[in-house]
Amino acid sequence: AQSVTQLDSQVPVFEEAPVELRCNYSSSVSVYLFWYVQYPNQGLQLLLKYLSGSTLVKGINGFEAEFNKSQTSFHLRKPSVHISDTAEYFCAVRKETSGSRLTFGEGTQLTVNP
């Protein structure tokens, strides 16, 4: 079975600063990786996904993530955050097999302060 660890439960940053939200995964087989964002009182939105190809994946809202197979990581980055980026961010993984279940990490609360 696969698992996901988000290394920071809370990340406070100042507006316009860069941010990195860390995600490590564990799996005995090849996986697909995802980042979702959840704004207060809303459902999740898919930010970006890695399925194959380039290890640097660009998503919505200026976020990007890099898949590092040797370090089993998929960290999310943004060079300059806005107040509106304040939200809960979830890393998720699933096996490449079609129909396999998506496993979520425990989430990282990003708080952007003025």
Partner 1 sequence: DTAVSQTPKYLVTQMGNDKSIKCEQNLGHDTMYWYKQDSKKFLKIMFSYNNKELIINETVPNRFSPKSPDKAHLNLHINSLELGDSAVYFCASSQDSTGQPQHFGDGTRLSIL
Residues that bind partner 1 (CB under 8 A): 32, 34, 38, 41-46, 49, 88, 90, 92, 94, 98-102, 104, 106-107
Give the whole-angstrom CA distance, residue 77 versus residue 85.
Answer: 12
Q: In the complex with partner 1, which residue's Cβ is closer, 85 or 88?
A: 88
Work out how close the CB of 98 gets to partner 1 at its nearest, in angstroms, rounded to a whole number. 5
Q: In the complex with partner 1, which residue's Cβ is closer, 18 or 101?
A: 101
Work out how close the CB of 93 gets to partner 1 at its nearest, in angstroms, rounded to a whole number. 10
Which residues, other chains included, contact 48 with Cβ-Cβ below 8 Å and sequence gap of 6+?
Answer: 34, 35, 57, 58, 59, 60, 63, 64, 65, 76
Give the whole-angstrom CA distance, residue 92 versus residue 73.
Answer: 11
Q: In the complex with partner 1, which residue's Cβ is closer, 42 or 113?
A: 42
Q: In the complex with partner 1, which residue's Cβ is closer, 54 or 98?
A: 98
Closest CA to 30 of 64, 66, 67: 67
Work out how close the CB of 104 gets to partner 1 at its nearest, in angstroms, rounded to a whole number. 4
**64 CA to centre of own chain:** 9
Tokens of 57: 């994946």
Work out how close the CB of 4 gets to partner 1 at its nearest, in angstroms, rounded to a whole number. 11
